[in-house]
Structure 1
Amino acid sequence: MPKRKAAIAVGGVAALGAAALLLPHANASQDGGQAAGGTARTLKAAQASGLAAQLQKALGDAFAGSYYDGGRQQLVVNVVSGDNNVIQQAKKAGAVVRQVKNSTRDLKAAATTLKTKATIPGTSWAVDPRTDKILVTADSTVTGAKWDRLQSTVQGLGSGMATLKKSAGTFKTFVSGGDAIFAQTQQGGVRCSLGFNVTASDGSPAFLTAGHCGVAAKDWSDSQNGQPVATVDQAKFPGNDFSLVKYDDPSTQAPSEVNVGNGQTVQINQAADATVGETVFRMGSTTGLHDGKVTGLDATVNFQSETNPGGVDTVNGLIQTDVCAEPGDSGGSLFTQDGSAVGLTSGGSGDCTSGGETFFQPVTAALQATGATLGNGAGDQSGSADPSAPAGDQSGAGDQSGAGDQSGSADPSASAGDPSGSGGDQSGAGSGDDGSSLTSTR
């Protein structure tokens, strides 16, 4: 019997109007080389993330966060020490150095105070290195005494430590309304989006999705009324928000790629930590492909508990973005132009008409916790499109038996679920300012 390729497309299936992949020659001239005299280097976002990690170790307590300036394609590093040696060290590495007031230790202490005094359903906070403050957000449900308590706590942190803003929507997990992966519970049907195919620690093919999806149901199908094809192995929610789901058929071929619609895929080569300021792309089964910016790291979100009236489901360590999402997009993939897996859609507020905030579970943390690895999994990935090919040239696409024939340009309707009614027209283009040329609507 031939091996069965995964019928669940990574990241879900976009509507027929989903954006095309306009592939990346824009970054070809960015060699990341350092100019003479220690001047700031021109970097891709992935290079900036790696440099930031190196400088964080090298600078120690003087390091106070960093972010990617997409317009200038440079890494900006915050330092709290006036030590000229520290500043020169960062400059020689190719970063733009900015002296700030609040240290990483100060910001973490402020976050601890918020956790102790203001864990209120409908609130979130994240470090924003662009302002050297903690950004505190309250959704539309935080009113009256709850708002007064939150406002008082923020003011008590001291001047210049945090900013407080209101969100028009309501923080919620995006667990229903999609069309990529399906499960049945006592309360009815559940729909989520697949994040990334992985290889479990025992070598079996599996995928990552949101933890609140894995907690809601154990058995998952690739069609609304179909037989289960995968079983939850590990699920973490609240606290974290990730699930490892193993395919029931050990011969399932699970390619390491994201289906972005119109028969096109983005090869996923590695996992990467997010960098504030970088352009990221989210794929979900309800709304398809959308892009935006990372706006904060190490975010804490206090969701209203769905199982405990009046309770709070708190998730820590999330990536905050201005990318939109809607119910059904939960678990969907957040990735970069160069094929780095960054996050799994957790929840947020707003929608893809009015916008809003969306939070993501870091993939690096999920892989470390589950022992899973990104890569070829159990399948041959020679059939995925060549990212260096011009948009529309999918001659490299191989046989995707079991998920529809994708030679040339695959019919998206042959993939998991019925895409009818999902996402609407996504033919608009929104190119990121970090040189990315993958396009989507926002």
Structure 2
Amino acid sequence: MDRRRALTTAVVIATAGAAVALTFPAFAGTGERERPSGDVTADRALAAPEVLAALSRDFGLTTEQATDRLAAEREAAEAVRTVKAAAGAAWAGAWLAENAETLTIAVTDQALADEVRAAGAEPKIVAHSSAVLDQVKSALDTNADEAAESIPGWYVDPSSNTVVVLARADVADAEATAKEFAEASGVDAAAVRVETSEEAPKPLFDVVGGDAYSVGNAGCSIGFSVVGGFVTAGHCGRAGADTRGVNGVAQGEITASSFPGDDFAVVRTNADWTPTASVNNYNGGVLPVAGSEVAPVGASICRSGATTGLHCGEVRALNATVNYAEGTVTGLTRTSVCAEPGDSGGAFIAGDQAQGVTSGGSGDCTRGGVTFFQPVNEILERNNLTLITTGDGGTPPATTPPATPPATTPPAEPSEPPADGGDCAAEGSVARDGTITRPGQRRDVVRFRAPAGTHAACLTAPEGADFDLYLQQQVNGGRWVTVARAATDAGSETLTFEGGAGNYRYRVASASGTGEFELRFAVN
């Protein structure tokens, strides 16, 4: 996100508080991790075998150790969410130790530390709240245009309770330049730490053919599927540009793009492409996407990209600023995962939780390096998008049958259309762009069993809104495949499709606007 706003007040340093160390089950072979009865399946569902294999390769772990690490990291993420909500303004960040066995949560309220200590935590003193460190970083962001090329970037580091400003080790007087930059930004020197670095980050696109998708001659990688398309990196292309898939077939259009400042883009795909809750594992299969729970600092994370495939590392910092030659990008996550040109836009995933899309970095997958990603949750929020997920925490869509809905929604078993071929009606509402809302929160407006014949449907959207209509058919294994789509710029959509007997459903998504809609359909 672009946080270049001037500070109207001086930076205020928070009073001393405490850090709480929470210990999680060991994974490194020092003893068997105790699991409740029946918990093995839940642990295994945290990641597909390909993720476990990549973690084992990149971290030097056995499959069991990798599984236990993911389980501990899931517990850590839940602890972070709970304590952060309770701490409020006293929150000062969180990080996992290198072995992922210990999570440290920093707060500035001693009373809160006592509460956590009562739950089995050990307190420790910190000086600055996250709000204060974010203020310091925002001041640096505001002055980003004055940052020299010898300053690769800066980020909030909760473990040192400072904002780290990087200085290139290969440039003379870079550390002094970094200190001068911080001083000129008007921040308290006690809240800033200058650190030398070998990094020289750059966006990771390349002018090559045969990548996962292309914009003109530039090849990039798909990030995550959303209703109506997918998200990727903004430096891959500007709004209005057409995209083509890895097979060279017309794929869609970039409808939103932001770079620098941010680094995200949204591609609206055409009827030939069906978004799925999956990520390429580059081993002949896919990884499931079950949600977008943010992984804490120190957690393991993997990246999928068209050039180098699947690689893993650790989260190093949240809310990092990168000083690319093209301009400054803020709000990125810093990782130890490698990447190379053509990997840009690709998916960062922790277990089965979507994290973000690849932005840029330093190094390569031979020597290693540092890579940054744009958090996916910000992309979703900024563009009113809905992430497509498996919905059950870890089963790929190809093997996931539709869940049984509440009684207030259409029946789980498809109903028969009118015997005389007449039309049916269904109503619902879209609460925000890209989101379908109705009783029970089902994504499909209606599902039904139909004989072979011609499907016809008409969708009426509210005035000023642009809604799209999808007809999907259930195939082997319970997977739903889009067989027809009506996606014009008109307020109403009509659709026809010749299909065989089977189970079908209609889905509605918003390209823009919100409100009530009516769907009428028939099979003749």
TM superposition score normalised by structure 1: 0.68
For 1:166 and 1:52, the matched residues in 2 are separated by: 30
2:357 is the alignment partner of 1:344 = yes
**Equivalents in 2 of 1:28, 1:94: separation in Å?**
25
Would the aligned equivalents of 2:244 and 2:250 in 1 still touch at CA under 8 Å? yes
Q: Deviations over 1:399-430 (max 9, x none)?
A: 9999xxxxxxxxxxxxxxxxxxxxxxxxxxxx
Q: Which runs of 5+ in 1 are unaligned?
A: 1-17, 31-41, 306-312, 387-395, 403-442
Pick the aligned partner of 2:231 from 196, 205, 208: 208
Q: Equivalent residue of 2:250, what SS?
A: coil
For the residues of structure 2 that align with 1:236 and 1:336, how far apart are their CA atoms?
A: 25
Match of 2:258 in 1: 236
Say yes or no: does 1:59 pair with 2:59.
no
Secondary structure, in 3 states, of the residue corresponding to 2:296?
coil
Unaligned runs of 5+ in 2: 1-51, 57-61, 402-475, 483-524
Distance 1:243 1:149, change over 3 A: same
Q: State the one-letter code of the partner of 2:353.
A: S
After TM superposition, list the pairs within 5 Å mapping 1:30-429 onto structure 2: 44-69=72-97, 71=99, 73-81=101-109, 83=110, 85-92=111-118, 97-117=123-143, 118-121=146-149, 122-139=151-168, 148-154=176-182, 157=187, 160-176=190-206, 179-184=211-216, 189-199=217-227, 204=228, 206-215=229-238, 218-223=241-246, 226-249=248-271, 252-305=273-326, 313-337=327-351, 339-375=352-388, 382-383=397-398
Q: In structure 2, what is the equivalent of residue 7 of structure 1?
A: none
Kept in 1: contact 2:337–2:368 (CA 8 A): yes
Residues 72 and 111 (structure 1), Cα distance of their counterparts in 2 relative to 1, 3 Å cut: closer
Rg comparison, structure with higher value: 2
Is the 1:20–1:262 contact (alpha carbons within 8 Å) kept by the matching residues of 2?
Answer: no
Provide the rounded CA distance (Å) in 2 between the counterparts of 1:190 and 1:72: 38
Q: CA deviation at 1:212?
A: 1.3
Q: Measure how far apart 1:232 and its partner are.
A: 1.0
Bigger Cα displacement from structure 2, 292-301 vs 107-116: 107-116
Contact kept in structure 2, 1:43 and 1:73, CA below 8 Å: no
User: Which whole-Å CA distance do the structure 1 matches of 2:155 and 2:342 have between them?
Assistant: 24
TM-score (normalised: structure 2): 0.58
CA distance in structure 1 between the aligned counterparts of 2:257 and 2:300, rounded to whole angstroms: 28
Amino acid at match of 1:350: G
| Mapped contact 1:257–1:384 kept (Cα < 8 A) | no
CA distance in structure 2 between the partners assigned to 1:24 and 1:207 by the alignment: 31
CA contact (8 A) 2:274 2:481 kept: no
2:175·2:195 contact (CA, 8 Å) conserved in 1? no
Change (3 A) 1:169 1:27: closer
Q: Which has the higher contact order (CA 8 A, sep 6+)?
A: 1
Residue 126 of structure 1 aligns to a residue whose secondary structure is strand
Taking the aligned partners of 1:293 and 1:51, their CA distance within structure 2 comes to: 18
Q: RMSD across aligned C-alpha pairs, in angstroms?
A: 3.5
Q: Distance in 2 between matches of 1:62 and 1:289?
A: 38
Change (3 A) 1:353 1:62: same
**Paired residues of 2:279 and 2:287 also in contact (CA < 8 A):** yes
| 2:331 aligned counterpart, secondary structure | strand
CA distance in 2 between partners of 1:265 and 1:21 (Å): 16
Indicate the structure with greater strand content: 2
Residue type of the partner of 1:272?
E
Name the residue aligned to 2:505: none
The residue type equivalent to 2:262 in the other structure is: N
Q: Evaluate the alpha carbon distance shift between residue 43 and residue 129 of structure 1 in structure 2; reply closer, same or farther with a 3 A threshold.
A: farther
